[in-house]
């Protein structure tokens, strides 16, 4: 198992073609982790346009985990494993609350001509995750959530 | 994150001097936009040329910024990098905001 030369903030280790990260459920860690992931992916040879899309998926999924799974809880952890070969796959694991009814939200786009004041300011996260992925797999078992996203 | 504003004719250009508009800075962005938009007479061109990453929180902050404008003001976007363009396209927010390739393109619409 080799460690990249610098991994500030996030705890990142690399083994084979998987990059692994551990973070605390704080917003500061999410942003920093996503920057690290994008940079590590490019360093691993993933095309930049794919690396940034994977970083976007990470930002959306991690923000959701922090806001919903870990809201008002202590002792939470989040782990991210990123597969760098094809197809690129990201697996998120956390020990927070399960998704309601185990159903992943769809997300909804804006409607052309929609009035300014009626535009939603949130809820686009799952739409983005779904649009950028070809497969989503979610399970909750033994107190842990696992979400696996395959890049489209 | 820094937002710098300058007026050109009847338009105000607000340049976002930051590489990311994400959950960590969304609230700050919205507050700064309220500040920089104040007193703008009409069109506001938000120059995103330096922004290399935006997530749904950042998108939400831009939508919120538009909602906090007064009736005569209009928010338009300039210089979207590939991932920013992707986020606006996938959410269909590209049908809501006028989008220009460059500040010059945006300003040339004023010369009528």
**ipTM score assigned to the predicted complex:** 0.93
Q: What is the mean pLDDT of residues A32-43?
A: 95
CA distance B95 to chain A (A): 5
Residues 120-139 of A with CB under 8 A from B: 120-125, 127-128, 131-132
Residue A56: list chain B partners with CB under 8 A. Answer: 53, 55, 83, 86-87
Report yes or no: A25 at the B interface, CB cutoff 8 Å: no
Q: Is A77 in a helix, a strand, or coil?
A: coil
Q: pTM value? A: 0.90
Q: Whole-angstrom Cα distance, residue A101 to residue A104?
A: 9
Q: What is the mean pLDDT of residues B20-36?
A: 96
Q: Whole-angstrom Cα distance, residue A21 to residue A8?
A: 11
Q: Whole-angstrom Cα distance, residue A17 to residue A128?
A: 25
Write the burial class of residue A84 (CB in 10 Å: 0-12 exposed, 13-18 middle, 19+ buried): buried
According to DSSP, residue B55 is labeled -
Q: What is the mean pLDDT of residues A108-113?
A: 86
The verdict on whether omega for the bond into residue A87 sits within 30 degrees of 0, i.e. cis, is yes
Q: Is the pLDDT of residue B33 over 70?
A: yes
Amino acid A59: pLDDT: 97
Q: Is the pLDDT of residue A121 over 90?
A: no
Cβ(A21)–Cβ(A59) below 8 Å:
no
């Amino acid at each position: 198992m080799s460690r990249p030369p610098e991994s500030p903030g996030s705890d990142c280790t690399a083994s084979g073609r998987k990059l692994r990260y551990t973070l605390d459920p704080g917003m500061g860690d999410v942003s920093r982790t996503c920057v690290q992931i994008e940079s590590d992916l490019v360093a691993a040879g993933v095309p930049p346009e794919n690396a940034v899309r994977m970083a976007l998926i990470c930002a959306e999924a991690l923000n959701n985990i922090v806001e919903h799974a870990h809201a008002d809880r202590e002792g939470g952890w989040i782990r991210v494993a990123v597969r760098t070969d094809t197809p690129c796959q990201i697996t998120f694991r956390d020990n927070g609350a399960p998704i309601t009814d185990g159903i992943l939200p769809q997300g909804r786009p804006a409607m052309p001509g929609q009035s300014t004041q009626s535009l939603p300011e949130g809820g686009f996260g799952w739409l983005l995750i779904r649009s950028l992925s070809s497969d989503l797999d979610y399970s909750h078992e033994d107190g842990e959530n696992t979400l696996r996203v395959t890049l489209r | 994150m820094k937002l710098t504003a300058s007026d050109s004719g009847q338009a105000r250009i607000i340049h976002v001097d930051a590489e990311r508009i994400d959950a960590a800075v969304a609230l700050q962005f919205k507050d700064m936009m309220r500040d920089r938009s104040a007193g703008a007479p009409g069109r506001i061109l938000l120059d995103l040329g330096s922004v290399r990453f935006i997530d749904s929180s950042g998108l939400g902050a831009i939508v919120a910024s538009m909602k906090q404008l007064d009736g005569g003001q209009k928010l338009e976007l300039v210089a979207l990098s590939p991932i920013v363009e992707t986020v606006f396209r996938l959410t269909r927010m590209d049908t809501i905001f006028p989008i220009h390739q460059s500040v010059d393109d945006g300003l040339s619409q004023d010369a009528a």
